[in-house]
Amino acid sequence: MAFVEVLDLRKRYGSLMAVDSVSFEIHEGEVFSLLGPNGAGKSTTIGMLSALIEPTGGDARIGGLSVRGRSAALRRSFGVVPQEIALYEELSAKDNLLFWGRLYGLRGSDLRGRIDSILEKVGLADRAGSAVKTLSGGMKRRLNIAAGLLHGPRLVFMDEPTVGIDPQSRRSVLDLILQLKGEGTTILYTTHYMTEAEELSDRVGIIDHGKLLAVGTCRELAASVGGDEQLRVALSGKEEGERLTRSLRTMPGLSVKSDGAQVTVHAPRVRLLLPRIVEAAAAVRATLRDIEIREPNLETVFLAYTGRELAGQGADVHDGFGADVHDGFGADVHDGFGADVHGGFGGAE
């Protein structure tokens, strides 16, 4: 039985359907990622699952408990790591965790022991006494995660926890999430970075304009859109591109597109056809300036399901497949969750 069941969940803000009939399951110990651009409905979905936003329709159950009930037992079962930093700048790292721990109902030696342990886990034990305002962006992100983990929840909601930090800090956060995954923590992770979803996730949901378009493992999603490899050839000019395109279209089993001096070929195991493509270019007197082969990945999947690339959102971060994905530093819907932002809090109803 699934630990998290999302059942036709909907949220409307006036004329905007922010989340539109979304359904999926998360099994215990699984990392499930929602991948989509800013405004796709990711943060709103987490807001409803954490009982902070009232659904317009549908329901979700966590450990058999409806999120509409907003019970103390439900809230104790999860932690929330919000996209916005939910820390008090003037307080020390340790005092922030003391504050959140007391809201969770933790006290005394149990709370102090948990704080020491979680600061060690997130690599901030040596900064326990430092004011949050003196910490780097990456350290604040890790402390933000620590606050959501303090009460030892079975489930953690992580809403774009690497937004706005440098690559080294991002790597530290991803390594921490992989550690939690290895310990069997159930995680719902939202991101617009394809490489994060590919590295962390057991399964991925593609979400855009509030609709969940596809769910599966990375391999299953790639197979669902054909799983073809992609070969891109850069030539000296548009006429050469047109000549090579006409030649390649005579070969069976190839899907060929031309965009000026660039020709793109899709086919299963297209790399095995590279010698024939080079020969075809020579035959039509086309000069090859660059050749790039891309294996099927989430970029391919997202493009197939949405008709657009997941890009154009801010500072470039190279995704490892020759394309740039972008940052964006925004939230789907600004939640203003206030004091409830990290989750549980025992008796909060």
Q: What is the per-residue pLDDT across 34-86, written as a single tens digit (0 to 9) for each?
A: 999 999 999 999 999 999 999 999 999 999 999 999 888 999 999 999 999 99
Least confidently predicted of 22-26, 69-73, 320-324: 320-324
Q: What mean pLDDT do residues 255-261 have?
A: 88
Q: DSSP assignment, residue 131?
A: B
Q: Is the pLDDT of residue 349 over 80?
A: no
CATH 3.30.70.100 segments of the chain: 228-294
Fold classified for 4-223+328-340: Rossmann fold (3.40.50)
Collapsing DSSP states into helix, strand and coil, what is residue 126? helix
For a pLDDT cut of 90, what percent of the chain falls above it?
70
CATH 3.40.50.300 segments of the chain: 4-223+328-340
Distance CA 312, CA 189 (A): 21
pTM confidence score: 0.76
Among 267, 345, 349, smallest CA distance to 106 is for 345
**Cβ atoms within 10 Å of 264's Cβ, excluding its own:** 16
Distance CA 226, CA 266 (A): 10
Q: Is the pLDDT of residue 314 over 70?
A: no
CATH of domain 228-294: 3.30.70.100
Least confidently predicted of 108-117, 257-266, 292-301, 312-321: 312-321
For 285-297, b where at least 16 C-beta lie within 10 A, e where not — what string? ebebeeeeebebb
Q: What is the pLDDT of residue 331?
A: 34
Q: What is the pLDDT of residue 173?
A: 93
Ranges of beta strands (E only) in the chain are 4-13, 16-26, 31-35, 57-62, 65-66, 78-81, 155-159, 186-191, 203-208, 211-216, 229-235, 255-259, 262-267, 288-294, 316-318, 324-326
Q: How many residues does the chain have?
A: 349
Q: Is the pLDDT of residue 348 over 60?
A: no
